[in-house]
Amino acid sequence: MTAFFQTIRRASLALGFTGIASLGLATAAEAVDIREVTSPGGIKALLVEDYTNPLIAMRFAFEGAGSTQDKPGREGTANLLSGLLDEGAGEIGSQAFQAKLDELGISLSYDAGYDNFSGNFRTIVENEDAAFDMLRLSVNEPRFDEEPVARIRGQIAAGIVSQENDPGTLASKAFRATVFPNHPYSRPVEGTVETLNAVTAEDLRTFRSTAFGRDNLVVGVVGAIDAQTLGRRLDEVFGPLRATAELTPVPDVQPVTGKVEAVTLDVPQTQIQFVLPGVKRDAPDFFAAYLANHVLGGGSFTSRLYQEIREKRGLAYGAGSSLSNYDHASLLAGSTATRADKATESVGIIREQLKRLAEEGPTADELAKAKAFVKGSYAVQNLSSSLSIASTLVGIQLDDLGIDYIDRRQGLIDAVTLDDVKAIAKRLLSVEPTVITVGPAAA
């Protein structure tokens, strides 16, 4: 996966997690019974009760508290914070905190994206009391001792340096600078070595204390816990947070189109990216756009880009595209990688397929297959494990889709007509794309 698509993935809540027992209730979307829970202190969460396994999984996010909140010259603050919240809290130092997590079988991790700061938590019911107390300490009383701060900072900085000449990293950097110039989205989530070194423990404390609030908190929980118990746990863990987060406003931005940016790098392959405007998640024609993109490049082996670039010509191992929604921008973007001497041909094929789909739209057969895939793959991608369901519950809330979204989703897809998809394809794909390449100058 290129750094470009890693960047895109940060815009969503699709954080990988392994070792979670699958839930029998997730075999069909209709089987997921979602309840809204409000704690005595007023904290809301979505809950799916399941007692198949003695596990509790939680996903939570602080909306708007991502790297866009990093102060200028302190880029990388949110990302560094995400690596330190489980490195000691309260009276427990870093090594002891990690040892206790292992001893109790607690999984706890954090992630900072552009827009949101999120956490993953899992415990067995037997250790529920101690586990939730560890989570409470982590969220509210992180220590930021000198040794773990220096260690995690060093790990991130080493990663930045090691990727300086990586084609995917350079492509991601060019993408941000070209598509979102002078906007917080143009900055790397991990910062630079210089800005990372400028971040102090006090910066970390300030970020946590101001950006984490009960008002921008979104929670999804799955497992062996009832609503009353969850309400009590929510107040224990998140009740100490400030009532209202203090966030710096971030402006909306339209992705820049019509640009051609070439980054010269002496490597055998050329990375190719293209960017077009997207559709907001709450737009009435979102699913029409989603299906149009599936035909273009989102359908893996069946998409037009994959067929034309990989199957028919063997120019690349793969090619694809995706709709991506940030809080303040929407775009349709895609990528491939090919031999340097085939880069111009590959870019030409991409432009040809964009033009063709814009002018003709998909066929009725392509649309039918796209609908079938998009409906059928949802449970596998979003409802296959306790944490994937919890992540879906958080996403539903962040996008304000409604508690009945899973039940309504198939009907929304079925309601999309061929004319709807043709119209949105013409609107989105008729725009001149921004094209970014990273590879030899001759390409």
pLDDT tens sequence across 168-198: 999 999 999 999 999 999 999 999 999 999 9
Structural contact between residues 84 and 138, judged by C-beta atoms closer than 8 angstroms: no
Structural contact between residues 60 and 118, judged by C-beta atoms closer than 8 angstroms: yes
Pseudo-torsion of CA 186, 190, 195, 196, nearest 10°? 170
The CA-based diameter of the chain, rounded to the nearest angstrom, is 65
User: What pLDDT is stored for residue 218 in this prediction?
Assistant: 98
Tokens of 369: 């297959």
Tokens of 308: 């034309």
User: What pLDDT is stored for residue 22 in this prediction?
Assistant: 36
Q: Which residues of the chain have pLDDT under 70?
A: 1-31, 442-443
Count CB-CB contacts under 10 A for residue 340.
18
User: What pLDDT is stored for residue 6 in this prediction?
Assistant: 42
What does pLDDT average to over the chain? 92
Task: List, in order, residues 6 or more apart from 78 with CB less than 8 Å away.
Answer: 65, 66, 67, 69, 70, 112, 117, 189, 207, 211
User: What pLDDT is stored for residue 28 in this prediction?
Assistant: 43
Structural contact between residues 211 and 62, judged by C-beta atoms closer than 8 angstroms: yes
- What is this structure's pTM? 0.92
| CA end-to-end span of the chain | 21
User: What pLDDT is stored for residue 135 in this prediction?
Assistant: 98
Structural contact between residues 172 and 4, judged by C-beta atoms closer than 8 angstroms: yes
Task: List, in order, residues 6 or more apart from 162 with CB less than 8 Å away.
Answer: none
Say how far apart CA 21 and CA 338 lie, in whole Å: 39
Cα distances from 184 to residues 46, 86, 126, 181, in angstroms, run 31, 27, 43, 9
Tokens of 389: 């369901």
